[in-house]
Structure 1
Amino acid sequence: MGKVYLVGAGPGDPELITIKGLMCIQKADVILYDRLINEELLTYAKKEAELIFCGKLPGYHTMQQETINHFLVRHAKKGKIVVRLKGGDPFVFGRGGEEAEMLAKHGIDFEIVPGITSGIAAAAYAGIPVTHRDFSSSVAFITGHQRADSQEEIKWESLAKGIDTIAIYMGISNLPYIRDRLIKYGKAPSTPAAVIQWGTLYEQKTVTATLETIVEAVQQKQIENPSMIIIGEVVALREKIQWFEQLRFQASSFANEAF
């Protein structure tokens, strides 16, 4: 019997993977990887390792979750070391819990290797701390997928009234709905908001506005997935401590001067 490692690849910058995660990639016989992992990480795999793409696009699944589970079980039962390489952290909106349940059901040995989730990393690279002693003592990580039921309404009310910083994954298409629900249940329209596209990568682009105006700002700047939405007073700190875009600008200026 082999073993499966459910590995968080981090938010995009390949240097942000953990040492343990990288070691798992290096020893894997089979790697099943998602769309949003940085494929530079696959260059650390053994030459003979089998690489299986199982990424998902909005509205289109290259490989169904049941098929992914089947591959994990099948290869492990062949005695192979299997790495399930997932963007961010495997237990934060990554279905890692479902995969771990399936492995446990089949008696397959496995380990969870946490990764840096985009809700923290993209915000940090945009100069936004999700907590701050003066502005935020609570943070919530939520999925932006819309559900029309009573529990959904209760959730938005709790978020609007009880959480200082809200980090929303996969929410671009539902941003108008998110804005309307938060304002409806008491979040001030003037609350600072940011949307970060391709967080931690060179292509990173950040748009800030208020909760009331963020939809228009995103449309104007043509921000698309993959993006993180951050809502809360901490967003205002970006004006003082943004560093990544400034670092990128300095690097670009230096390169231009060299030529």
Structure 2
Amino acid sequence: MSVGSEDPALPAADLLGTVYLVGAGPGDPELITLKAHRLLQCCDALVYDSLVPTALLELTPVDCERHFVGKRRGHHSVPQPSTNAVLVDLARRHRTIVRLKGGDPFLFGRGGEEAAHLASHGVPVQVVPGVTAGIAAPAYAGIPITHRKAGSSVTFVTGHEEIDKGRPGVDWQGLARSSDGLVIYMGLHNLRRICDELIAGALAPETPAAVIQQGTVSGQRLLVSCLGELADAAEAEGYGSPSIVVIGQVVLERVESCAPPPADVEMPIPF
């Protein structure tokens, strides 16, 4: 996608490089797509996030220009406008730029914001979807996020929202009444409030629930509990980020024997 440039300092669109918003997957490097693998092997510049495995960075050419723009809770983070500016600058100087984002670039990854910014500057953009942690982490733990007997609907929701986004926050009480299952990203820090809100919305405290930490990689941990006890259990057992929370009857359909072993890859933990 591209539009005419409004910045007179930018070259014509046909002289600009293409930025590929590439999903890096949930952590296991073998879960990236063939297209992502090909682009990493031929890119001129790479812009990558915190939770991207080192094995993927090593696929890039030796002369590839690399830029780390990770965001971590409680640590210094690269502001989004700075990342946007880096991408535009690289498009002026290189032909193939890979913006490598954990999971899928258009699911809680600000990929939409980056694509819109690039398009507004006349930079060609292509999106390469990736496997999202909300599907992969439960799968590696043997939990199907939908099940014919236990859940015909599932909602993906973020537990960590920007305070300046200009619209109401997540209606947790409404979600308690409207979805068979919830898959919550970045929810551990607010887990107690989320659980309380769901119970206030008439979701039973006995509802099965799980936390998967470090999904798909070495260090993967699984906590199975119930909604009313989940926050206490996660705190008592020292669960941290990155984690995916699954709430609903599908947790009871876990099939331990079908879960693949986590990859022998260590991932950085953002606190």
TM-score relative to the length of structure 1 = 0.90
1:90 aligns with 2:111: no
| 2:175 aligned partner | 159
2:236 to 203, 220, 243: 220
Q: Distance in 1 between matches of 2:17 and 2:169?
A: 41
TM superposition shift of 1:60: 3.1
1:29 aligns with 2:44: yes
Q: Does the aligned pair in 2 maintain the 1:4–1:109 contact within 8 Å?
A: yes
Q: Does the aligned pair in 2 maintain the 1:193–1:208 contact within 8 Å?
A: yes
| 1:65 aligned partner | 80
How do residues 172-183 of structure 1 correspond to structure 2 at under 5 angstroms?
172-183=188-199
Q: Distance in 2 between matches of 1:6 and 1:54?
A: 14
| 2:92 aligned partner | 77
| 1:12 aligned partner | 27
Q: Deviations over 1:97-131 (max 9, x none)?
A: 00000111011111000001110000111111111
2:66 to 22, 38, 51: 51
Q: Unmatched 5+ residue regions in structure 1?
A: 252-259
Q: Does the aligned pair in 2 maintain the 1:168–1:229 contact within 8 Å?
A: yes
SS at match of 1:52: strand
Q: Distance in 2 between matches of 1:105 and 1:116?
A: 27
Identify which range, 93-102 or 20-29, moves more after superposition.
20-29
Quick one: which amino acid aligns to residue 172 of structure 2? W
Q: Distance in 2 between matches of 1:31 and 1:150?
A: 33
TM-score relative to the length of structure 2 = 0.86
Query: Alignment identity in percent?
Result: 47
What is the count of residue pairs matched by the alignment? Answer: 246
Q: State the structure with bigger RCO (CA 8 A, min sep 6), 1 or 2.
A: 2
SS at match of 2:189: helix
SS at match of 1:60: coil
| 1:257 aligned partner | none
SS at match of 1:6: strand
Q: Unmatched 5+ residue regions in structure 2?
A: 1-15, 265-271
Quick one: which amino acid aligns to residue 232 of structure 2? E
Q: Distance in 1 between matches of 2:239 and 2:222?
A: 9
TM superposition shift of 1:147: 7.7
Q: Distance in 1 between matches of 2:167 and 2:193?
A: 15
TM superposition shift of 1:51: 1.3
Q: Does the aligned pair in 2 maintain the 1:128–1:242 contact within 8 Å?
A: no
Q: Does the aligned pair in 1 maintain the 2:45–2:94 contact within 8 Å?
A: no
Quick one: which amino acid aligns to residue 175 of structure 1? L
1:235 aligns with 2:251: yes
SS at match of 1:44: coil
TM superposition shift of 1:242: 4.8
Q: Does the aligned pair in 1 maintain the 2:23–2:104 contact within 8 Å?
A: yes
Q: Distance in 2 between matches of 1:187 and 1:59?
A: 32
| 2:220 aligned partner | 204
Q: Deviations over 1:18-40 (max 9, x none)?
A: 01011111111110110001111
How do residues 99-110 of structure 1 correspond to structure 2 at under 5 angstroms?
99-110=114-125
Quick one: which amino acid aligns to residue 27 of structure 2? G
TM superposition shift of 1:182: 0.1
